[in-house]
Structure formats: C-alpha cells, structure tokens
Structure 1
Amino acid sequence: MVGLSDVKRWNTGQLDEIFKTVQQRLQVLTHSGDDFGKVIPVADWSGPAADNARSAHSSLMFRIDKMAAGASIVGKAIGQAADAITGVQHAIAGAEELSRKYGYQIADNGTVTDLYPEGKAPPELHPEDRARAKTEASDAIAQALRTADDIDRDLASVLQRAQQGDFGTGNEGTVTAAAADGSLDPGLTLLEPPKDDSPTQNAGWWNSLSPAGQAILLRDHPDWLGNLDGLPGGVRSQANLARLPAIRADLERQLAELRKPMDGPVLGEYDMQIRADEIAAVEAKLHSLDAVQTTMAKGGRQLLFLDATHPRVEAAVAVGNVDTATNVAVFTPGFTTTVDGSLGRYDNNMANLVATGNTIERSYGGGPTAAVTWIGYQAPQADGGLVDPTQSVASPLAAQAGGDNLARFYNGIGAAHGATNTPLHLTALGHSYGSVTTGFALGHDTPVNDAVLFGSPGQGADHLNVPAGHLYSEHNTGDNLVPTVHGTLGPSPYYSPNAVPNYHQLSTDASVTGVGPFNASYDHSGYLDNQSTSLYNMAAITTGHNDLAVTYQPPPPPPDVRPIPSGVPASPPATTPPPPVASPPGATPTPPPR
C-alpha cells in the first residue's frame, strides 16, 4: 500500500518525459524493424546459408515484434498513470483544503487531526459541520490512496508483463502491426466504486479519478454512476439519461412477454386479473419514463435518480444545477405520489419556487438556487394498505424506508459540494405523508440547514437533527388532514398542547412582502400554488433569508359575549386586527449560520 507522502511526491512531469522517450524509441524501432523485416527473403538465394539466415531473421523478428508490442503498451500505461495521478493529487489537495477550512490537519499517514483543543474551536465552526468535514476529508484521503495503490499495482503489472514478453504474438507480419497489437491491451484499469457505498466515500472515489478516467466511466459504465449518492449532479444526470434507453427496452420486453398468449389451460378469472395487473404495472413504468423524458425536455433540469426495479418507478429531477447552486431545496411529496402521475406538476412547482427564490436573491442576495422533486420511495397509494400493510398511509413503515433513502440523498448532495469546496445551504421540504418521510430522513445526521413541513400529519422521527430554530411548518385554511396530536406518524409540528417545541409556524394567508404581494392558499393541496405566501415562505427559507418569511398570526380571541349588567355602559366595539404582513428584516432573528 502506497503512503500519502509517497503519492504527494509522485512526479507526473518525469512520467511525461519517460512517455515521450518511449514513444520516440518505439517509432525508431518500428521503422527500423519494418526495414529489417524486408531483408529476408532474398531473391534466388537458396541453400544451407539461406536457410540459416531465414531462421535467424525469423527469430530476431519475433523478438522485435514482442519488444514493439511491449514498448507500445508500456508507453500507453505510463501516459495513463501520469494522467491518473493528477486526479489523485488533486483529490488530496482538495481534502487538505477542506481540513484547513474546518481546523484540521492531515498527517503524512493520512490521519485527520484536530488543530483545536477539545471545545476550543471558533464559534463560527459548528461542531456538526466540523464532524461532517472531518469524515469527508478522511474518506477523500482513503479513496485517493485506494486509487493511487491501484495505479501503482496496475503499472507495475504492465512493466513486469512487458519484461516477460507477454504482449504481442511475435508473428503479426510487421513491427508496426505488432505495436498496434500491443496498444490494444487496456493497460491501467479504472477502479470500481467503493463497496460500502457511503456518499462521502463515493465522492472521494470520483474526485480521485482524472477527467479522462471519469469520461471513460461515463461512456462505459453509466449504470455505476447514475444513482451513486455523492457524485456531482451533472454526472448523475448524464449517466441516467444514458441508462434510459436500456431501461425502456427492458420494460418493453417485459410487456411483450406478458401480452403473449399463455400456453396450457385457459386462465381463470383470478389469474387473468393478476396478468392484467402485471401488464398495467409495466405500462405505468413506461408512462413514468415518458414523464421523465418530457420533464427533462423542458431544459435546465438534472436527472439525479432513476430506478425502475420497484413496483413503481422512482426518480428525482432538479430544476437548476445542484452542483453550482448555493441554495438547494429537496421536496418530498406524499400520499398517492407517482412519477407518471405527479412528476410534471411538482416539477412546475419547483420551477416556481426557484423563480421566487431568484426574485428574492435579486433584492437581498444569497446566490443561485436549485430545487429537486424527490420521488425516491414507494409513496402509499389509495389501495396500498389493502394489498400491503407496509404501504398504508396510516403506517410509518413506507416513510421510514423512504427516509433512509432520502437521508442518503441529502448526504450525497452535501458530499458532492464538500468534495469541490462549494458552499451549500440545504433545505428539506416535505408535504403530507412526504413530511413524515422527510422527518425520518432528518432523524439521521445530514447537512440539512432548514426544514419546512406543510400539510403534515406528523414529523416522523421523534427528534429531527436540524439546527435549533430552523424548523418550520405551514397549515392552510381548510386543510383538515393535519392533526395536532402525537399519532402513528409522529409528533405534530403545529401549535397544540402536544406540539413539538422550536417550530416556527409560517403564514399561508395573503401578504405583502418586500418583493411584492402574495395570495392566500387553501386546503391540503394548495401549499405550492404559484404566487402564494406559502410558496414565498419556502423560497425565503430556501435562499437563507429566514427573517423575510411571513410568520403565522393566530386569530384574536372571541369577544366576551356575557350579558352586560344594567347600568353598566357598553364597551366600545372591537376593532378588526389588520391582516398579517411580512415581518420586517430582522424582526425574527435568524440563528447563526452553520
């Protein structure tokens, strides 16, 4: 195993010089060898001397051919190694920069050590962010050394095989052909993703590859990359788009098989229904792929996740570029959500959120914004509980399973940003049963800075790992699906005797804000209405302008209607309080950034 100090001393300039020398000498060898190859046979020369000459010539040509094949692949492998090492050294430099930023140092043995005594780090370096940065730096170094060791072993193997004459057949006909034959060997191979598949290790692995190596994997192995949390969104999107035709072809093959007439006895009514359900399920998957392609055709989207192996297709589509966005929101919808039936509508909602965020950003700053529609779990359906109790909307099981996946997705975005040292403000948005899924995801350690739960039947996990003061909820007028008690789906995020503390309830009434007026929203499905106070609030939180959000104002208490004793003058008529408006900047202090 190579060490960190060894890899940092590797000199790609020297490898480049060796590569040039090998190429020059290979050129001389092929030209001279091909000229030598034409010496024999000599016209009209026969007899023992001619036979001996032909034998010696054949032996020399065999050795020259082998030498040319070996030199060709050695030169190729040295060039590959020089290119691959740049990726490794770049990854090490990035890990060292991330470590310094959070008060750590990477020792020569690869260990990440704390530069501050325990508890003495500056207050602007949040402990959870420091812990996450330490993990990212440690995993980046581990993956860089893993890649470096693979480069070292592969190059040593090529050199040893060339020395043993393992390349070429020795009878290619010309030395030029022998050199071409040798170059067909792949030389250095590219390392597969890490086995345990954690987002930070995936990010470290990808960042340790050279641009040329990354391009080869995108071309040859998009199936490795599309759903790999921790990779850049642009890479995942390119890989998933490349996977789409094969996924579609496989579903069309399944559908054709299901539609074939059955051999043997005539199917009974029950069996016919099962077959019809199977056909409908595959057709729905194909419609889901149609929805994905239609959404991607709008432009300015990234396909961050695509999985057709479950009963229903799962997908995640971003509006904007999650790699370069400072502010990223991840929206998780709930009950009855499907890709074929819901993606287009929710993508439009996220486009409106991004547009509102950009309006806020133009007035108040904050950097570019992207928003993701995440349908990466099997959301309960109307008949789900009848078929499978784990798919019941009254059960937390689907939300728990989805929450595990969603937490990995959050961490993947964080790891990708950390690998490139790109600032990130990450907001979790969850609606209805999706807020339960969001809550279970936030029960894990994630880089989420703010969370907004709306139309929520419960927050899922009992404790959410979100910074104090950064939990928000919304409740529309007319939304009767929102309990205020602790039920099977977790504690309520709304005001009540049993409410979870530290939630800020946001307004969904009409309002006037610093960027214009917004409308009220109503009922369980209206929270994402365009030009609504509800959507404006989500955009304000997403862009990091928490102090611009319009807070909920509880209605005034009912007037006292007790009879007035005779002889007592009546109280003056009560005045109606003005409608809620946006809190002025600074009215609700924003906790310090993480």
Structure 2
Amino acid sequence: MVSRCRRLPWNVEEVNDWWTSLSPAQQQDIISNRPDWIGNLDGIPVNDRGAANLNRLNSEITAVDEEIAEKQTEFEGQGGPLDDPVYVKRAQQELHRLERKREELEQLRETFKNDSGRHTLVLLDATSGDHLQAAVAIGEEDFADHSVALSDQAEAGGERLAGFLDSLQSTHYGDPHLVAAGHSYGSSVTGYALQETAAPDEFNALGSPGVSTNHLGPLHIIPGKFNVASTRYLVGGPGWSGTGPAASGMMSCPCRLMIRGVLSPVVAGGW
C-alpha cells in the first residue's frame, strides 16, 4: 500500500494530472480495488482519498489480526523462549500494541459507519508508529471557500503536513483561502511545514510553545496573516521549541482566536 511503499517520484501537480487524466470508471476501479495506491497520496482529491481509505479499513484490520495471531503463537511457546523474561516482556508489549491498534481501527470503522458523510478520512496509516495515525477532514475540502488544516503530530510530521497542504492547494476547485492552524506542539509542526510550502494564506497558532522560527519570512506568511491565541499556556514556558510567537513580536495584534470559523479578539498575555 502507499503508506508502506516508496513514494512515487511525482510532485502533487503531477499526481493530480495523472488522476484527472483517468476516466471516472478507471478512478472508481482504483478506489474500489486498489485503494492502497491513493489513500495517502498527496495530489488526489480529498473525497477520492477518503473513499479509498474507507475501503482500506477492513484490509488494515485483517492485517493487524494476522500480526496478532502470529505474536500469540510466539507467546504460547511455539516461536520463542518463554523462560526468557526479557523476551516474554517484549512479546507482551508487542501484543498489547497490536491489540490497541486493532481497537483503534475498529473504533474508526464504527465511527464512519454512523457518519452522515460530512467527514472524510484523508489519511490512514496503521504501520508507521505504535498508534493508528489518521486525519479526518470536515466538509467539502476541495470546494470550501475557507479551509483550516490542524496538526498535533510530532516535529517529524512537518514534512508530511507540508505535502498535504500542497495537495489541498493542487486539488481544490478554484483557489482556496487556506488557513493552517496548530495547537500546542501541533503549531510547532505547522511551523516546520510552512517552511516547506507556500500554500496557506494564514497561520493560526493556539497555545504554541514556538513555531520553529522568530521571523515570518521562512513561514511564507505575509504580515497580518499570522494569528496567535491562548497565551499563558504552560507548555510554552520552558521554551523547548523556541521563543513563543507572542514574545517574538511576530503575531498580529490584537491577538485573535478562531471559534467556529469566526475570528474574535482575545487578550494577549505573557507566556
């Protein structure tokens, strides 16, 4: 599947050109029969990625079930030394990790069974970490007048987020007003992502410990389009991710907070 294979040597525009060159029947055949090709592939329209990822859920659960069965066989003594306490502990941890991931996949599947169609599963990755990684879009991302991209992943997710933002820009029908928003350490991830993409028009940092730079230039955001909210947030105190945006003087003043799509003034304080 795409998440387990080397990425195609195409940029998002080339991926989108390939996808739009296919007939609707060809596209549907891939979504139905080879959803792993496009589920996590930047440059594919959001709704098509979502349909593909929903089709991947059952096979992902089956794959985890097979891993669990394999580990259970080992743990029962048919594949490993049960008299080795180090081995037993590691086997137990691995089994618990897989069972937890299986539960997360099942919860995601049940959630979308009851969904009205408003949510789209734009990323599904059950192989890269101890926990399931998923990204869910709300509304029609490829047609929306305003879009907000949220990230709460670790610093290494910046490159991945940048690719997704480029994909939204490429697949959107018309030029979107794209807002990148990150909360807590997610704002640090977003800061790293914005150093690799110029797709977003605005950047909202909420409760941020730092956005990877003290200047707007590297973020590709023009003055007046960087907004900070929720100061006095303890995670920013140590300054592990750099100077807080409020302290650096980069933010728009007065500080603004997005609530249900409406930007409202809030009081900016110390970090």
Distance apart, 1:291 and its partner CA? 3.0
TM norm structure 2: 0.86
Cα deviation, 1:405-445, whole Å, max 9, x if unaligned, reads: 0000000011001xx4x231111111111111010001112
Aligned pairs, how many? 255
Partner of 1:123: none
Cα deviation, 1:448-497, whole Å, max 9, x if unaligned, reads: 011111111111245311122100111245x32223x8x44133201x3x
Report the 3-state secondary structure (helix = DSSP H, G, I; strand = E; otherwise coil) of the residue aligned with 1:231: coil
Is contact 1:443–1:461 with CA below 8 Å preserved after alignment? Answer: no
Partner of 2:4: none
Partner of 1:276: 92
Is contact 1:474–1:505 with CA below 8 Å preserved after alignment? Answer: no
**2:221 aligned with 1:402:** no
Distance apart, 1:318 and its partner CA? 1.2
Is contact 1:429–1:453 with CA below 8 Å preserved after alignment? Answer: yes
Give 1:15-414 correspondences, 5 Å limit.
195-260=8-73, 261-263=76-78, 265-296=81-112, 297-299=114-116, 300-311=118-129, 312-333=131-152, 379=153, 398-399=154-155, 401-414=156-169
Q: Which has the larger radius of gyration?
A: 1
| AA matched with 1:482 | G
**2:230 aligned with 1:475:** yes
CA distance in 1, matches of 2:159, 2:242: 16
| AA matched with 2:236 | V
Could you tell me which runs of 5 or more consecutive residues in structure 1 were left unpaired when the two chains were aligned: 1-193, 334-378, 380-397, 508-533, 542-548, 556-594
CA distance in 2, matches of 1:291, 1:448: 32
Give 1:482-497 correspondences, 5 Å limit.
482-483=236-237, 487-494=239-246, 496=247
More strand as a share of residues: 2
Task: List 4+ stretches of structure 1 deviating above 6 A.
Answer: none
Report the 3-state secondary structure (helix = DSSP H, G, I; strand = E; otherwise coil) of the residue aligned with 1:212: helix
Report the 3-state secondary structure (helix = DSSP H, G, I; strand = E; otherwise coil) of the residue aligned with 2:77: coil
Distance apart, 1:295 and its partner CA? 3.2
- Percent identity over paired residues: 29
Cα deviation, 1:167-190, whole Å, max 9, x if unaligned, reads: xxxxxxxxxxxxxxxxxxxxxxxx
With over 3 angstroms needed to count, the CA separation of the structure-2 counterparts of 1:553 and 1:289, relative to structure 1, is closer
With over 3 angstroms needed to count, the CA separation of the structure-2 counterparts of 1:240 and 1:480, relative to structure 1, is same
Partner of 2:3: none
With over 3 angstroms needed to count, the CA separation of the structure-2 counterparts of 1:553 and 1:241, relative to structure 1, is closer
CA distance in 1, matches of 2:258, 2:250: 23
Report the 3-state secondary structure (helix = DSSP H, G, I; strand = E; otherwise coil) of the residue aligned with 1:240: helix
Is contact 1:491–1:500 with CA below 8 Å preserved after alignment? Answer: no
With over 3 angstroms needed to count, the CA separation of the structure-2 counterparts of 1:306 and 1:265, relative to structure 1, is closer
Distance apart, 1:500 and its partner CA? 4.1
Partner of 1:374: none
With over 3 angstroms needed to count, the CA separation of the structure-2 counterparts of 1:308 and 1:554, relative to structure 1, is closer
Distance apart, 1:213 and its partner CA? 2.0
CA-atom RMSD in angstroms: 2.2
TM norm structure 1: 0.41
